[in-house]
Structure 1
Amino acid sequence: MNSHDRERFWDRFRRHFGASRHTQLESLGHARVEAAREGSWVFDDRGQRLLDCDTSGGICNLGRRPAPVVDAARHALRQTDQGNFPMMSWEKAELARRLAAFTPPGLECCVFSVMRGEALDFACKLARGSTGRTQLLTVDGGWYGETGFALTLSDRIDRERFGPLIPDVGTIPFLDADAACKAITRRTAAVVLEPVQAENHARKLPNGMLQALRHRCNRMGALLVVDETQTGFGRTGSRFACEAARVKPDVLVLGEALGAGLFPIAATVFTQQANAFLNRHPLIHVSTFGGSDFGCRIAVAALDLYESQKPWLNADQVGLELQRRLTRVVARHPTPVSVRGSGLLLSLDLGSSDRATKFCRKLADGGVLARPGRVAPRSVVLRPSLLIGTQEVAWIERAVEAALDDLR
C-alpha cells in the first residue's frame, strides 16, 4: 500500500468508523492496517512484524490461522454451511460430545452461541429459569462483554450511558469471602465470576474464595457460573482455571477461543440438573448462527489441536519464565510498575491510564501489540499465543524494557 492509498484508506476509516476511533488507535500505536498474520505474529501494511500479545482478546490462543484448523475449515466449506438451526446435525452432536469430554466432569449439556456475550447472557437466563429466582451476583471488577446481562455484570464506568440496565444484579466484594458469602441468599439465582479478571490487572480470585463461594451456592441452592472466556483452554497454565482451584461450576462459559480465531463460535456448558429447565421448555432459547454446522467443524478441529498440543503445559512453563523476566526488568526502573498474572495471562500496572497508553505505543514501535485493560486502563494486558517459545519471550522482554526506558 503506497502513501496515497494509505491516506485514502484512513479517510474512509474516519468517515465510516469515526475520527475519534482513529485518534484512539493512533494514541496506542495501533493505527495500522493488518496485512498478514502467521503463528504468533501479525504484519502491518508497512511490513513491520509485531508479536501479537492481544490475540483479539485471547481468541487466538493457538496462534493466527493454525494450519490444521484452516485445513478443516476448507474441507468443511466444501461439504457444509450454516445448517438449519432448529435441526440437529452430526456436526452439532459431535461438538457437544467433545465439549462434554474436554470440560470438567459433570458438564454434559451445552448450548452454542456466536460470541462470549451471547453465551454469558444465556447462562444468566438459564440460572434464572432453572432456579425460579432473579438475583444475580458478580464479583466486582469483572468484564463479560457488551450484550445485555454481560454489560450489566461488567465493571465499567460508562455502562450507564446505555440507559437502564437489567435489574436485580449486584456485586460482591473481591477477596472478602465472608461478606461475599453473606450476600448469597435464597433469593440468589447465580453467582457469576471470572477466575482471573484479565481486564483488571489480571486479578486472580484465591482458590479458597472460589471454594467458599461454591460451598455457599450449594447451601443456598444458587448456581455458580464461571466465565472462562479469558482463562480457558490453557491460558492460565491449566486446562481451565476452575479445575486448578478444584471447583466445579454448574455452568461454564467458553468464549470465542473455541473457534481458534477462524470462526465466531462460543458455548455454554452445564449440568444435567440445570438442563432440566430446558427439558421443560425446549425451544425457550435459540440462536440463528449459534452452533452452525460450519462453525462446529472448526471448533472440533480446534479441540483436536488443543488436545494434541496441550498448550496449558507450555503456558505454565513459558508464562512463569516470562513473568520472572518482566519482574526483573521493572525492578531496574525507577518508576513503580507491578507485574501480575497466571500462565500466559500477564499484566503490567503502569500507574495511570496515560502512561499505559504511551507504553502501548512504545511497545508497538518495538514490535509488540498489546492494549490497556478495559476495567483497569492503567494496566497493559499481555496475552500472546499459548504456543510461544523462548525467542518470543526474549522479544517481549526487550520490547518492554525499551518501552519503559522511553517512559522515563
Structure 2
Amino acid sequence: MAATLDMRDDTVRAALSAAQTARVDERPSLVGLTREGLGDALREIGVPDRQIRMRVSQLWHWLYVRGVGEFAAMSNVSKDLKTALAERFTIAGPEIVEEQVSADGTRKWLLRFPPRGAGRPVEVETVYIPEEGRGTLCVSSQVGCTLTCTFCHTGTQRLVRNLTAGEIVAQVLLARRRLGDFPDADTPQGAIVPAEGRKVSNIVMMGMGEPLYNYDHVRDAIKVFTDGEGLSLSKRRVTLSTSGVVPKIVPIGEETGAMLAISLHAVNDELRDVLVPINRKYPLADLLDACRAYPGLSNARRITFEYVMLKGVNDSMADAKELVRLLRGIPAKINLIPFNKWPGSDYECSDWDQIEKFADFINAQGYASPIRTPRGQDILAACGQLKSESERMKKTERLAYEAAMIAGHGD
C-alpha cells in the first residue's frame, strides 16, 4: 500500500462503508462464551433443555480440546445441528495480517478481527515467547489503550474498543493452531495434546490494553482458559497485569484465581503520576493496600511487580531501597525490565551495570528480582512495544487500507 493516497476522506469512507455492508458477518461467535452462555445460545436454536448439558460438553471439546475452526469438523454432532449452528453462529478465528519471527524465536502476530455492528475491522498484536521448559503467550485485551504510560509504545495508540471474550480467547486458539498444540484432525478424540507437550503453557494478559478496564470480557476469557475440560491451564499459569485499577483488583482475584502482576515502575507518587498516569486516580498507598488484600496471596502465590529500568529516572540505589520498603510484607517478586526503545521515545535504558546493582540489592533483601531478558526486539515484540500497524497509519491511508482489505483488493 502506498505511503500516501490521492483520495479524499469522504470517498474512502464511502468505499469502506460499502465494503463492510457487503462483507460483515452478523453471526455472533460461540468462542469465549461461558458454559452458561453456550447453553443459552443452544436454546436459541431450539436445542431441548434435556440435551443442553451434553451438547455444551460436545461443543466445548471441539472448540478447546480439538481446536476446530468450523462446525463441519465436529464429527459426533448431528448434521442438522451443525447446519443450525452454522446458520446462526460462527467459530471462525481472526485473519493473520502478518506473522513475524524474531531471531530469538519469539513470534508476533498482527491479527485482524472483523467489524462489529457499524464499526470497522480492528487489529491487535499477540506475542509468543518460547523459553526453556515453557512457552508464554502475551494476549491483548483492548485495541489501543487509554492509560498513556509515557514509556509504553501501546500507550501512544488511542483506544479503539474493548475486545470481546471471544476475541481474547481466539488469540490463544490461533496460537495453539499455529504452533501445533491441537491434535491433528485424524488423531483419536481421546488425545488432548501432542506427544511432545504443549508449546503454549502460560498466558499473560500483558498485551495491548488495560485488562481491568475490560473487566467482564477478561474475566470470562480467563474462565475459559482455566476450565479443566478445555484449554485446561492451571490458574497459576495465567497472569493478569494491571497498571493499578484499584477497585477491580480484589474482585478479579476472587472471580478467577489468576496470578497478579502490577505495572509499578516508580516508588513515589510524583514520578508514578508521570510514568503511569492512572496513579493520579489510584495512588501508590491505595494500590499496595489492594495488593495486600489479593485473594490467595502467599509465598507460593506471590504478586509480580514489574519495574521498567529508565536511565536517570527510576534506577538509583535510593529507588531500590524505597522499593523494598514499599513492598515490605507483601509476598512479591520484582521483575526488572530493561527499557525497550521504540521510535519517538525520549527514554533510555539504564546501564547494564546499574540494572545488576539494583537487582543485587533487592535480592539481598530477600526478594527474587530477575532481570527480564528482552525478547523479540527486532520485531518490536518486546514489553511495551506493541502497537498495531493499522493504527500507525495516517487517517486517510488507514481508511483506504481497510476498504481495500475488506473488498479483497489490498496487498
Specify the TM-score bucket, using the shorter chain as the normaliser.
Answer: under 0.3
Structure with the bigger percentage of helix: 1
Superposition TM-score, scaled by structure 1 size:
0.25
Superposition TM-score, scaled by structure 2 size:
0.25
Q: Considering only CA atoms, is the larger Rg found in Structure 1 or Structure 2?
A: 2
Higher relative contact order at CA 8 Å, sep ≥6: structure 1 or structure 2?
1
